[in-house]
Amino acid sequence: MVNYFSSDFTLGILGGGQLGKMLLYETRKFDIKTHVLDPSAEAPCRIACDVFQQGNLMDFDTVYKFGKKVDVITFEIEGVNVDALEKLEAEGKKVYPSAKTLRNIQDKGVQKQFYKNHRIPTSPFKIFESKDKLNEAIVRKELHFPFVWKSCTGGYDGKGVSIVRTAEDVIPLSEGACIAEKLIPFKNELAVIVARTPSGNVTTYPVVEMEFHPEANQVEYVICPARINDSVAEKARAVAEKVSKAFEHVGLLAVEMFQTEDDEILVNEVAPRPHNSGHYSIEASFTNQFEQHVRAILDLPLGNTNSKVGGIMVNLVGAEGHNGEVVYENIEKILAMEGVTPHIYGKKETRPFRKMGHVTIVNKDISEARKIAEEVKNTIQVISK
């Protein structure tokens, strides 16, 4: 076995945001040497790695040269130069997840087509190479309202996704390639995180449920375990495993799914990295998702994905109308609540809806955790000075 611990072995991480920051807790715990590349000098990962390099993640030379200096490369963001990763792989460097996995995921049209080719259940869709082609299809009545529009590239945290109900709704959509999906009413939005090693060992985390705000179409709570029946949970984990197998990814794969009105499971999209839906695992799981990612990409034995206790995650996003130096109002009040742990990502400036941190609420009783989560949500405010 390679000696990863307190040795010269170096893990390179593309992206230095909050996911990278939480990954570094684990590399520090195992004393694994790390290099991090991020465009911002103020990135949350600027400390706690061994070498921090400021640079453009989409630039071929920057990524290639960064990769040459490390032993294994991983990423915490999909927006990286895949050509550079492919060249590094061709030269024998280990890139986990692989450039191929990333290519199949980066473009949402390619990703949907991948599901279709691999007979993975997903909502019906059409791909359009431009907004003009989309408009043509509407005019020719090949595409009917309502539908879900998704930009093929660049979507993130709800950006690049719209529900299109009328011709009016088409006007603000961006110009590039896109997909139009059938709008399917669903009971629940679920997610399963799968970990896979280069040797092909696989574990899945329990199914989590995204609870949405009844009016603002925004995830309010990620709840583990999901409040669904066992047969649906089993089906969701089986679908996630099938997706994982199809991608042959290495590392984590977060699989987001819909539970339809008639309890079918449809894959919505995946992320080949630690994921917001797995943050609860830091406090709730025997092995948290970040440690599991490290274990997976280094081909170490995977850890136990079961939970010690019930866990709920609440995102801390910047309040509307607040821009500038951040203040976490009433944070001391939530610290007084039972089983509450705030995670502050370290971004100095808040903006409306910017992800600034998250709060985990753990409790042996998940319905008690849910009550406390609501108190947390109603108490803490991310505002500016």
* Footprint (CB under 8 A) of a copy of itself, residues 302-341: 303-304, 308-309, 326-328, 331-332, 335-336, 338-339, 341
> Which long-range contacts does 299-305 make (Cβ < 8 Å, 24+ apart)?
299/197, 299/198, 299/199, 300/4, 300/197, 301/201, 302/195, 302/197, 302/201, 302/202, 302/203, 303/203, 305/193, 305/195, 305/203, 305/204, 305/205, 305/206
Separation between Cα atoms, residue 237 and residue 259, nearest integer Å: 12
Note whether 374 and 314 are within 8 A (CB): no
Could you tell me the smallest distance in angstroms from the CB atom of residue 378 to a copy of itself?
A: 17
Joined together, the tokens standing for residue 126 give 């059409």
* Residue appearing with tokens 């011709």: 167
Q: Does 90 bind a copy of itself (CB under 8 A)?
A: no
Q: What is the CA radius of gyration of the chain?
A: 21
Binding mask 8-47 for a copy of itself (x = CB under 8 A): -------------x--xx--xxxx---------------x
Could you say which of 9, 50, 351, 353 contacts a copy of itself (CB under 8 A)? 50
Among positions 241-300, residues that touch a copy of itself (CB under 8 A) are 286-287, 291, 295, 300
Pairing of strands 10-14, 72-75: parallel
- Does the annotation list 181 as a binding residue? yes
Residue 189 assigned as binding residue: yes
DSSP line for 57-95? TT-HHHHHHHHHTSSEEEESSS-S-HHHHHHHHHTT-EE
Q: Strand 72-75 to strand 94-95: parallel, antiparallel, or no bridges (unpaired)?
A: parallel
Cβ-based nearer residue to a copy of itself, 60 or 328:
328
CB 47 within 8 A of CB 26: no
Question: In the complex, what is the shortest distance from the CB of residue 292 to a copy of itself, in angstroms, rounded to a whole number?
Answer: 11
Closest among 157, 160, 154, 163 to 123, alpha carbons compared: 163
Does residue 108 have a known ligand-binding role? Answer: yes
Nearer to a copy of itself, 78 or 291 (CB): 291
Residue for token pair 């309040």: 319
Q: Does 198 interact with a copy of itself (rule: CB under 8 A)?
A: no
- Shortest distance in whole angstroms from residue 288 CB to a copy of itself: 10
Which of 63, 223, 232, 362 forms a contact with a copy of itself (CB under 8 A)? 362
91 is in an annotated binding site: no
Does 301 bind a copy of itself (CB under 8 A)? Our answer is yes
Q: How far is it, in rounded angstroms, from Cα 59 to Cα 302?
A: 33
65 is in an annotated binding site: no
Contact window for a copy of itself (CB under 8 A) among 9-17, 173-181, 211-219, 346-354: 346-354
Dihedral sign from CA coordinates of 259, 261, 264, 267: negative
The one among 60, 133, 342, 374 contacting a copy of itself by CB under 8 A = 342
Which C-beta is closer to a copy of itself: that of 110 or that of 344? 344
Beta carbon nearer to a copy of itself, 54 or 153: 54
Q: What's the rounded Cα separation, in Å, for the pair 27 and 25? A: 6
Closest distance of CB 163 from a copy of itself, Å: 35
Residues that bind a copy of itself (CB under 8 A): 1, 3, 5-6, 21, 24-25, 28-31, 47-50, 286-287, 291, 295, 300-301, 303-304, 308-309, 326-328, 331-332, 335-336, 338-339, 341-348, 362, 364
Q: Which residues are annotated as a binding site?
A: 108, 150, 181-184, 189, 268-269
Q: Which residues are annotated as a binding site for ATP?
A: 108, 150, 181-184, 189, 268-269
